[in-house]
Amino acid sequence: MDLRDLRAFVAIAETGSLAAAAKVLHSSPPSLSVRLKDLEDELGTTLFERRARGLTLTEQGREFLSHAYAILKQAEDAKASMLSREKPPVGAVRFGVPGSLVGLLTAQLIETCLERFPQVRLRVVESMSGYIASWLREGTLDAAVVFGGGAATDRSASLRPIAEEELYIATYDRAVVAPFLNERDEIRMRDVQHLKLVMPGPEHGLRVLVEATARRHAIPLNIGMEVDASPQIFELVRRGHGATICSLAARHPGSISSLAGKAPIHTFRIVDPGFRRTVHLATPLNRPSSRATMAVAEVAVETLLSLAATDEWKARRLR
């Protein structure tokens, strides 16, 4: 198996036929057919189902496609790194950002990278921290920002602590929380049990952290609704379905743009002891990172550190 085999396989998978793939690769259908058969023999599996209208990936083929993408990306990064050691970073970078930080970080990260690294093609991918960790391991992402917890214990990633953020109760109706506030407008963790919460599902990193911390302090939680999308969580809270737990960064208009111009959201710090999570830069251990990836990662760290002390986030810098 060599890179030409992988390029042929990817082209066939993306076009769905030998003839179309041959045009893309400036080859011939018979030669691609031979290459595909040799690859399937070597792997000991069938990668495509042969149908009258073309070729369709099998389950094994879909699994192998993710590996092929990752290997070809590594080869591209290695070539770009060697050709540009004395030049500015060059290449494509796919960078993962959790939804609660996407509004705070993304625009500034992209603008800074455009200014400093005009030959780097940056793509920012938003998702839950757990999904981001999986995509980083599989090679779908090159680097990412993740939170402590499940993603942070993934041994396939190198984790660099950046900041620690506190979590807050958020609601559009102050009266919901007012009976439990102290003179500093803070709410004790044990009083959170009196609030009906709208939260992401059990597999979400924020939910895992909140529930684990509450269990350690024998505090039950009243979770009335589960939604795995921040804008919809805030919309349900705005409609009077209780409160949610989030970081200050999650309130950023870029994270909940659908609520722009509507009633302001109120946030109250949770204390005694409160909920906290660490923000990490994650890079893969199972493959080298390109110069372009490391350049973008450094800008992400720099940007997050500059934002940590702002009123938009109020995080504690760990560097």
What per-residue confidence (pLDDT) applies to 152?
44
What per-residue confidence (pLDDT) applies to 1?
86
Based on the domain organization, do 235 and 296 belong to the same domain?
no
Which residues are CB-contacts of 46 (< 8 A; sequence separation ≥ 6)? 40, 58, 60, 61
**Amino acid residing at 202:** P
Based on the domain organization, do 137 and 199 belong to the same domain?
no
Give 51's strand partners: 54
Based on the domain organization, do 73 and 133 belong to the same domain?
no
Based on the domain organization, do 174 and 262 belong to the same domain?
yes
Range of the domain at 103: 90-164+278-313
Residue 28 lies in a domain: yes
- Report the percentage of the chain scoring pLDDT > 90: 70
Based on the domain organization, do 141 and 154 belong to the same domain?
yes
Residue 257: pLDDT over 80: no
User: What average pLDDT does the segment 180-209 reach?
Assistant: 95
Residue 319 lies in a domain: no
Residue 112 lies in a domain: yes
Based on the domain organization, do 174 and 187 belong to the same domain?
yes
Residue 156: pLDDT over 60: yes
User: What average pLDDT does the segment 241-247 reach?
Assistant: 96
pLDDT band at 155 (very low <50, low <70, confident <90, very high): low
What per-residue confidence (pLDDT) applies to 259?
52
Residue 231: pLDDT over 80: yes
Summarised one tens digit per residue, pLDDT across range 2-33 is: 999 999 999 999 999 999 999 999 999 999 99
What per-residue confidence (pLDDT) applies to 85?
64
Residue 199: pLDDT over 80: yes
pLDDT band at 294 (very low <50, low <70, confident <90, very high): very high
CB 133, CB 282: distance < 8 Å:
yes
Return the minimum-mean-pLDDT range out of 154-158, 243-247, 290-294.
154-158
Counting the structural domains of the chain, the total is 3
pLDDT band at 77 (very low <50, low <70, confident <90, very high): confident
What per-residue confidence (pLDDT) applies to 303?
97
What is the rounded CA–CA span in Å between residue 170 and residue 316?
20
Residue 318 lies in a domain: no
CATH at 38: 1.10.10.10
Residue 154 lies in a domain: yes
Based on the domain organization, do 160 and 282 belong to the same domain?
yes
Q: What is the dihedral of CA 98, 93, 278, 199, to 10 degrees?
A: 10
Tell me which of 55, 81, 107 is where a domain ends.
81
CB 200, CB 228: distance < 8 Å:
yes
Based on the domain organization, do 40 and 173 belong to the same domain?
no
Residue 123: pLDDT over 70: yes
What is the rounded CA–CA span in Å between residue 107 and residue 87?
25
Residue 109 lies in a domain: yes
- Report the percentage of the chain scoring pLDDT > 70: 93
3-state DSSP call for residue 250?
helix
Quick one: tokens of 254?
């870029």
Q: What value does the mean pLDDT of the chain take? A: 90
